[in-house]
Amino acid sequence: MDTQRQLQLNRITKLTTKSHCLESRSHSHTASSELQILTRFIINMARALLFDMAARWWSEKTVAVVTGSNKGLGQAIARELARNGVTVVSTARDTARGLAAVDSAVKEEPQLKEFLHFHQLDVTADQSVAELASYLQDTFGGVDILINNAAMQKFQSEVYEDAVDTIETNYFGTTRVTEKLLPLLRASPFGARIVMVSSQVGQMEVNIQSQTPLL
Ligand SMILES: NC(=O)c1ccc[n+]([C@@H]2O[C@H](COP(=O)([O-])OP(=O)(O)OC[C@H]3O[C@@H](n4cnc5c(N)ncnc54)[C@H](OP(=O)(O)O)[C@@H]3O)[C@@H](O)[C@H]2O)c1
């Protein structure tokens, strides 16, 4: 541990110990409201310091995969992660559109070039998911963050095929990608992360109750 980190830790330990003493005193009937305010202030400061130390847990060695990131929220998430210095594998089912999204991001913000990579991914296709997994293993030796963002949004359609497509993509697609990439998620001091981008529309219990009077 470097000296600066050790000093910060010592400072936090002292602050926390002191604030705990103050807090126990502040619970007594004789404690003044000023003491309680000071106690809260010290506790909050210690918490803020701890948060600050833990806040930047990633580096350029942290690898994130974002599904369906040629447009919309996925594209924004991929860019934002890259802006923050995470190595991002942007993916799209259509290679041309996926590459165009990465190119336009790099054109607008050239500093993103070293952080943004691209690989084709159709979440409904076993072969495509397997190829992404091999690429991640061979190129980066694993992955730290998986953002399951890809989805169909045909929830207002009453056409049977649209329902099938939606479930194939949003449920089985997400499951397929997660199961395949799970063994590649690396152990790290902060833990690997899987983010499921979802929607209220997916809350079947709520929707069935509110939209189908017969049930
Ligand atoms: N926008 C909202 O207000 C909102 C609200 C709640 C939740 N969400 C959730 O946020 C996420 C993104 O929404 P969005 O509004 O950004 O949607 P979007 O603009 O429609 O983007 C969806 C992305 O998923 C991709 N995709 C669809 N099927 C795919 C497949 N089989 N394989 C790989 N990628 C596939 C799309 O690729 P193509 O371009 O090839 O179609 C597109 O890149 C979704 O999970 C959605 O449920 C959004």
Query: Would you say the CB of residue 197 lies under 6 angstroms from ligand 1?
Result: yes
Residues 78 and 51 in one domain: no
Q: What CA–CA distances, in Å, run from 153 to 72, 103, 148, 169, 202? A: 12, 26, 14, 10, 11
Residue 7 and residue 44 in one domain: yes
Range of the domain at 28: 3-55
Same domain, 44 and 124: no
Whether residue 71 sits in one domain with residue 49: no
Q: What is the best residue among 70, 73, 166 to mutate for testing ligand 1's pocket, by most ligand atoms within 8 Å of CB?
A: 73
How far is the centre of ligand 1, averaged over its atoms, from the C-alpha of 88 (Å)? 18
pLDDT in tens, 16-38: 444 444 344 445 545 567 777 77
> Do 41 and 67 sit in the same domain of this protein?
no
Question: Percentage of the chain with pLDDT > 90?
Answer: 58
Overall domain count for the chain: 2
Could you read off the pLDDT of 196-207 as tens digits, one per residue?
998 877 776 666
